Amino acid sequence: MNRKVLITGASRGIGYSIANSFANNRDKLILTCRENIDILEEYANELTEEYGIYCEAYKCDAADPTAVKELFEKIGEIDVLVNNAGVAWLGLLTDMEEDDWRRVIGTNLDSLFYTCKCAVPGMVRRGSGKIINISSVWGSVGASCEVAYSASKGGVNSFTRALAKELAPSNVQVNAIACGVIDTDMNRKHLSDEDLEVLRQEIPAGRMGKPQEVGEMALMLSNAPEYLTGQILTMDGGWI
């Protein structure tokens, strides 16, 4: 199909797997990360060699509006935007510093405004485009000791529904994937083995989700019928 696809936060975890799914679909990829540019550049080269596609890596903090604007000046218009960049913070609200709050909200929610503001004009002009936001079940039900993260993902869900209504007349679809517990480095960093085992026992599917499964769902959404828009698709093994 040779669509031009931008995936933020693609150096590891879910973003890494999303990139692989789109590469397997022979799309042109623009991958970004905030810090691990050496890792991302190596991965972009691997995808180029394996699938014979165009794939470029850029260092770009999605929470920085200037950096996002400069990125789009380099890459031009895109067909698919996958907003995956995200961070978490685990602890009591009273122990959270203002800088921690701003980093979570900035990376998880403000980034959507910055990327969409740059991507949407081209999509509207062409009368086509897909925007896929990676959210969380905590955006719907909230999680103790993850107030900022839950608030940011709740914002992602509302952002998705509202922008979908705004762009539907222009034939641009906006949807989100609300992930449950996915087996990523981020979850293993913030949760102990004991915590993860408790979660596994609570999940009807009996396991954590695989990043590859989220990648497959993101690709499916990018190919979904145009009438599917404004949806928050929960992917949690029947948990919530």
The set of catalytic residues is 149
3-state secondary structure the chain: CCCEEEECCCCCHHHHHHHHHHHHCCCEEEEEECCCHHHHHHHHHHHHHHHCCCEEEEECCCCCHHHHHHHHHHHCCCCEEEECCCCCCCCCHHHCCHHHHHHHHHHHHHHHHHHHHHHHHHHHHHCCEEEEEEEECHHHHCCCCCHHHHHHHHHHHHHHHHHHHHHHHHCEEEEEEEECCECCHHHHHHCCHHHHHHHHHHCCCCCCECHHHHHHHHHHHHCCCCCCCCCEEEECCCCC
